[in-house]
């Protein structure tokens, strides 16, 4: 999978708006540096040159990694999301208990519909 990560990311981010170009390039560089470091770490033995390549890849990763921080959910957001999911599950269960279904298939369809809504 790691062999294709940078190529897939590059294709996914290939047509940025002018305002997005810098951010997209930083995301690609960060991913490329991480994959490079991973590949170098798979070597059976190391010399000064490969250790320097690993060190450079790791420095590049740390230099560009902040580009992903804006998309990271904080603890508060994660907790709020979990609480909302729990509320929706309770609401789903209460509604399914109160409804009268003629068949098990109807119940299953309604249950799947709720789950799609909750997961979205």
pLDDT digits (tens, 9 = 90+) for 21-77: 888 888 889 989 999 999 999 999 999 999 999 999 999 999 999 988 877 778 888
Farthest-apart Cα atoms in the chain, separation: 73
- What are the structure tokens assigned to 33, written together? 């540096």
CB 34 within 8 A of CB 9: no
Provide, for the chain, the percentages of residues in helix, strand and coil under a 3-state DSSP scheme, each rounded to the nearest 5: 80, 0, 20
CB 33 within 8 A of CB 64: yes
Q: Residue 102 — pLDDT band, cuts 50, 70, 90?
A: confident
Query: Tell me, what's the pLDDT at 36?
Result: 92
pTM more than 0.85: no
> Alpha-carbon Rg of the chain, whole angstroms?
23
Query: Tell me, what's the pLDDT at 52?
Result: 97
**Number of other CB atoms surrounding residue 115 within 10 Å:** 13
Average pLDDT over residues 7-16: 76
Q: Is the pLDDT at 3 greater than 80, yes or no?
A: no
d(CA 111, CA 108): 5
* Alpha helix segments (H runs only) across the chain: 2-12, 21-41, 48-64, 75-98, 104-119
Q: Is the pLDDT at 6 greater than 90, yes or no?
A: no
d(CA 55, CA 51): 6
């Amino acid at each position: 999978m790691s062999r294709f990560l940078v190529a897939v990311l590059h294709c996914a981010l290939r047509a940025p708006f002018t305002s997005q170009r810098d951010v997209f390039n930083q995301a690609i560089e960060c991913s490329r540096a991480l994959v490079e470091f991973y590949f170098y770490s798979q070597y059976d033995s190391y010399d000064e040159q490969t250790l320097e390549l690993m060190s450079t890849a790791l420095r590049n990763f740390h230099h560009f990694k902040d580009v992903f921080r804006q998309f990271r959910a904080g603890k508060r957001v994660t907790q709020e999301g979990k609480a909302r999911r729990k509320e929706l599950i309770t609401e789903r269960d209460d509604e399914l208990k109160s409804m009268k279904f003629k068949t098990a298939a109807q119940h299953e369809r309604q249950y799947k519909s709720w789950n799609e809504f909750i997961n979205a």
